[in-house]
């Protein structure tokens, strides 16, 4: 079905053009007209792939999420020991390189913009809370969690640490470096897990 693949490829290209427009001009600049121009398409051609601006924005945002999920799944399938696996996964969802920084910036811009547009926001949830619940379950199933640990609070706490660090890495990249974030995650995991022998 080469036709369908082409269609999806073109939709992906348009989504990527949308990210570039958002990164350059913010959400206000993310008009169908500007996106078509960035993608090198006529307005009519763009409408062939996405009939409304909302449809396009939701697709573009979900694609960010899919790419992160893909990277995370690769680590999930790897044979790293559980604690290192968790740290590696956490490192994929904080902005520590050009790619993840752009993802985070697009995501934040979008979240912020869509606050007043509930119809879009309802469609997009970054899934990080649910992901962290799974990571905590992974640690629990491997009997790595300390005895006195409250799992619900630990999920909330790690979720806050992830988004807090992500936010600070965007604001202060010189101070909140990749290495420093890695140290904080490792320290945090060590604090809730039983000692390695």
Nearest residue (CB) to a copy of itself, 12 versus 133: 133
Token digits for 86?
Answer: 């968790």
DSSP annotation of 52 reads: S
Instruction: Choose between 5 and 153: whose C-beta lies nearer to a copy of itself.
Output: 153
Query: How many angstroms separate the CA atoms of 67 and 12, rounded?
Result: 11
The answer to whether 170 and 101 are in contact (CB under 8 A) is yes
At closest approach, how far in Å is the CB of 45 from a copy of itself? 30
Dist. CA 164–CA 158, nearest whole Å: 10
Q: How far is the CB of 121 from a copy of itself (least distance, A)?
A: 9
The residue (of 59 and 180) whose beta carbon lies closer to a copy of itself is: 180
What is the C-alpha to C-alpha distance for residues 22 and 104, in angstroms, rounded to an integer? 12
Which residues sit opposite 145 in a β-bridge? 193
33-60 burial by CB neighbour count: b if 16+ within 10 A, else e?
A: ebbbebbebeeeebeebbeebeebbbbb
Min separation Cβ 6 and a copy of itself, Å: 37
Closer to a copy of itself by CB, 141 or 160: give it.
Answer: 160
Of 19 and 49, the one with the shorter C-beta distance to a copy of itself is 19
**CB of 66 vs a copy of itself, minimal distance in Å:** 21
Min dist CB 63 to a copy of itself, Å, is: 21
Binding residues vs a copy of itself (CB under 8 A): 26, 28, 108, 111-112, 116, 150, 153, 156-157, 159-165, 167-168, 171, 176, 180, 183-184, 187-188, 191
């Amino acid at each position: 079905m080469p036709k369908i693949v082409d269609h999806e490829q073109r939709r992906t290209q348009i989504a990527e053009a949308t990210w570039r427009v958002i990164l350059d001009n913010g959400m206000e600049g993310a008009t169908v007209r500007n996106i078509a121009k960035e993608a090198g398409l006529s307005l009519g051609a763009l409408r062939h792939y996405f009939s409304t601006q909302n449809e396009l924005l939701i697709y573009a945002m979900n694609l960010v999420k899919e790419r992160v999920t893909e990277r995370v799944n690769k680590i999930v399938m790897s044979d790293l020991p559980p604690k290192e696996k968790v740290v590696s996964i956490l490192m994929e969802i904080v902005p520590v390189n050009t790619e993840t920084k752009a993802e985070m910036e697009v995501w934040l811009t979008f979240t912020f913009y869509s606050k007043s547009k509930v119809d879009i926001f309802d469609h997009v949830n970054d899934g990080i809370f649910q992901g962290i619940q799974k990571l905590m379950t992974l640690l629990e199933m491997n009997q790595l969690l300390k005895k006195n640990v409250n799992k619900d609070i630990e999920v909330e706490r790690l979720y806050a640490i992830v988004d807090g660090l992500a936010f600070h890495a965007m604001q202060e990249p010189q101070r909140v470096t990749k290495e420093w974030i890695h140290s904080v995650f490792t320290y945090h995991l060590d604090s809730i897990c039983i000692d390695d022998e």
